[in-house]
Amino acid sequence: MKKYIFIALIGLMSSGLVNAQKHITKNGHIWFKSETPVETIEAHNHQVNCALDITTGDLVFKVLIKSFEFPKALMQEHFNENYMESAKFPVSTFSGKLLNLKELNFTKDGKYNVDVDGQLTIHGITKKVKEKGVLEVKGPQITITSNFIVMLADYDIKIPKAVTKNIADSINVHVDAKLEKLIK
């Protein structure tokens, strides 16, 4: 009897270990920059959800569009109401995988280049994307950073003619997420 309890306990513990391979944050930082000769516009969002499962390489980001903060109220209003239609499409998501998971060692501190492949949804439109990023392991913390470009036309984001000089067609997006081990 004791033997079975022991085996059951080991089983429970190891299943717990397998489940505890998720690293998350709810305060990831995403910011973007639109640069034209006329105007540079930058907006920040510090409320980004990100989860990485280091056993499968599954990577998820969830961003509320209304949480982007602009230097000027009018920019924020136009961004939400006219370009992103954030009442209709309040959330942007990325759901994908780390492609070179096997090359990463999560038990050793260091910086690794990562390739990420997945589905990016912005403005209600989902596109398959492949981007590069850097993953840094530092003790129990994993930091993911990436820079990539989003073409507004790909996501059917229309900029009125009157302001085409002020807003770039391609937007530089920066991602910075410090993930902590999820303890359940």
Q: Does 141 bind other proteins (CB under 8 A)?
A: no
What is d(CA 3, CA 158) in angstroms, rounded to the nearest whole number? 67
Site string for other proteins, 69-88 (x = CB under 8 A): ---xxx-xx--x-----xx-
Q: Does 163 bind other proteins (CB under 8 A)?
A: no
Phi-psi region of 98 (alpha: psi -120 to 50; beta: other; left: phi over 0): beta
Smallest separation, CB 67 to other proteins (Å)? 5
What is d(CA 45, CA 137) in angstroms, rounded to the nearest whole number? 23
- CB nearer to other proteins: pick between 40 and 105: 40
Contacting residue, 21, 36, 47, 143, with other proteins by CB under 8 A? 47
Q: Does 46 bind other proteins (CB under 8 A)?
A: yes
Strands of 54-140, DSSP E: 58-64, 91-98, 110-122, 125-138
Q: Does 101 bind other proteins (CB under 8 A)?
A: no
Contacting residue, 33, 44, 66, 174, with other proteins by CB under 8 A? 66
CA–CA distances in Å: residue 125 to residues 34, 90, 147? 20, 12, 20
Q: Does 41 bind other proteins (CB under 8 A)?
A: no
CA–CA distances in Å: residue 137 to residues 59, 61, 99, 143? 16, 19, 17, 7
What is d(CA 173, CA 132) in angstroms, rounded to the nearest whole number? 12
Q: Does 62 bind other proteins (CB under 8 A)?
A: yes
Tokens of 176: 């910075």
- CB nearer to other proteins: pick between 25 and 34: 25
By CB under 8 A, name the binding residues for other proteins: 22, 24-27, 29, 46-47, 49, 51, 60, 62-67, 72-74, 76-77, 80, 86-87, 90-91, 93, 182-184
